[in-house]
Amino acid sequence: MDKKQPYTPSCTDCGTQNCKFKDRTYPDFCLTTHLDKEDLEWALRRYDEDENHRVMVASAEVEYEGYCQLTRVEEIMTFARKMGYKKIGIANCIGLANEARIFARILRANGFEAYSVICKVAGVAKSAVGIPQTCESIGAAMCNPILQARLLNQAHTDLNVVIGLCVGHDSLFYKYSDAYATTLVTKDRVTGHNPAAALYTANSYYRKKLMPEGE
């Protein structure tokens, strides 16, 4: 087992969350109290930019209006309406094709246009881009997130929704998507696409699997 690496304390090491209140004590390593004023002002200026401002306001309104009432599906549609988005792109894993179909049907029933591109689009062999051929034992065709993004860009989607793209493939999709992107389903083949389950069981059932001895 690798030797434990030293680390710099950050927000996950804080037990107070007093940054929500601004009038209480903070740990010595607090990012809020050690913040470079220039970094804060840079971020705040970005929120003044037209599109960023609209996204921030719409997001806050969706959170407030639907707090503990709206599902993620409903939140996405509410956000899209507030932003004036009509054409919703879907970048989905082939393993969640049925979920993507259901989501597209829901979008269309609620007045949106849905346009999807599946991960295996073009059917290119994994080995064609230098992926080890052994990886083809679980499927010969590579996932193609950059092409997914390009085709959705060409379709001029207003908002793209990710449904179950693999770790890393989703990163490439976000990088190349022209439209803002959000995630509806995060893939986890072991937990039925509920990755938080591993966190909830990290101190019990999954402790030996996820935590080094003595952690």
The pLDDT tens digits of the residues spanning 192-205 come to: 999 999 999 999 99
Instruction: Compute the distance between CA of residue 118 and CA of residue 206 in angstroms, rounded to an integer.
Output: 32
Instruction: Compute the distance between CA of residue 81 and CA of residue 152 in angstroms, rounded to an integer.
Output: 19
Nearest alpha carbon to residue 75 among 157, 83, 93, 108: 83
Instruction: Compute the distance between CA of residue 202 and CA of residue 178 in angstroms, rounded to an integer.
Output: 37
The pLDDT tens digits of the residues spanning 60-91 come to: 999 999 999 999 999 999 999 999 999 999 99
The pLDDT tens digits of the residues spanning 165-199 come to: 999 999 999 999 999 999 999 999 999 999 999 99
pLDDT for the residue numbered 84? 98
Q: Is 21 helix (H, G, I), strand (E, B) or coil?
A: coil
pLDDT for the residue numbered 23? 67
Contacts of 68 (CB under 8 A, 6+ apart): none
Calculate helix-pair angle for 50-65, 37-48, nearest 10 degrees: 90
Torsion-angle region of 195 (φ positive above 0: left; ψ -120 to 50: alpha; else: beta): alpha
Cα–Cα separations (whole angstroms), residue 97 to 30, 60, 102, 122, 212: 44, 31, 9, 16, 36
